[in-house]
Amino acid sequence: AQTVTQSQPEMSVQEAETVTLSCTYDTSESDYYLFWYKQPPSRQMILVIRQEAYKQQNATENRFSVNFQKAAKSFSLKISDSQLGDAAMYFCAYRSSQFSGTYKYIFGTGTRLKVLA
Amino acid sequence: KAGVTQTPRYLIKTRGQQVTLSCSPISGHRSVSWYQQTPGQGLQFLFEYFSETQRNKGNFPGRFSGRQFSNSRSEMNVSTLELGDSALYLCASSFRPTRDRGNEQFFGPGTRLTVL
């Protein structure tokens, strides 16, 4: 069975600085998707960034980028130029690429990011 | 395009009661998944429905059930509520994911269930 581990329950970063959130996963599959979701306090969860395992290039979305190490099964999120609005709970998630209808999302336990002014 | 909506947003029930939560997916989305979110366990997958059929199920007792209607709206039911069922219940919808289309889930705001 697949698992997703976020070993940092809480992180802090100074405004305008860079922070990296860690995520490791375990799977026997070769093709899958990885995601980072952001859940601001009392607000809806939204997708931050997505990585397809067959793509070697690391995904980037504006100030958010990932470091995808497939062999090490590591998928970290880097937030550059941190802003107060980045404060949230961040979840790493895994999804199989199987199309048989038996896929499901597996989430880590989350990392709470605090941004200090 | 309207987002995923969930009703009610807040519920307070007592042990032994049952509860029904509702989720309306984004228009055109046919897949609806349900998750239970608690501070200690994070997000745990409950089940997924596609075209009115349950396609996948997590490791929850039979007290947790769901269904999907022909308009893709979904309901989740929890019977014989226990204190441990207190959680935020999230619903997420997606178009039938494929590699080309991507497979992004869009989450609703959740229903906060408190069991006393």
Q: Model confidence at A55, in pLDDT bands (50, 70, 90)?
A: confident
Provide the shortest C-alpha distance from residue B56 to chain A (in Å): 6
Interchain contact A33–B (C-beta under 8 A): yes
A20-42 pLDDT tens trace: 999 999 988 888 889 999 999 88
For B58, name the nearest residue in chain A, comparing CA atoms only. Answer: A104
B33 vs B49: CA distance, rounded Å: 6
B80 vs A57: CA distance, rounded Å: 49
CB pair distance less than 8 Å for A104 and B48: yes
CB pair distance less than 8 Å for A101 and B105: no
Q: Beta-strand (E) ranges in B14-115? A: 19-24, 31-38, 42-50, 53-57, 64-68, 74-78, 87-94, 106-107, 111-115
Is residue B6 a contact partner of residue B91, using CB atoms and an 8 Å limit?
Answer: yes
Interchain contact A55–B (C-beta under 8 A): no
A58-87 pLDDT tens trace: 999 999 999 999 999 999 999 999 999 999
Interchain contact B111–A (C-beta under 8 A): no
Please give the pLDDT value at position A98. 60
* Chain B residues lying within 8 Å of A109, measured CB to CB: 41-42
Flag residues of chain B having pLDDT under 50.
98-101
Is residue B112 a contact partner of residue B9, using CB atoms and an 8 Å limit?
Answer: yes
My answer on whether omega of the bond before B8 falls inside 30° of 0, hence cis, is yes
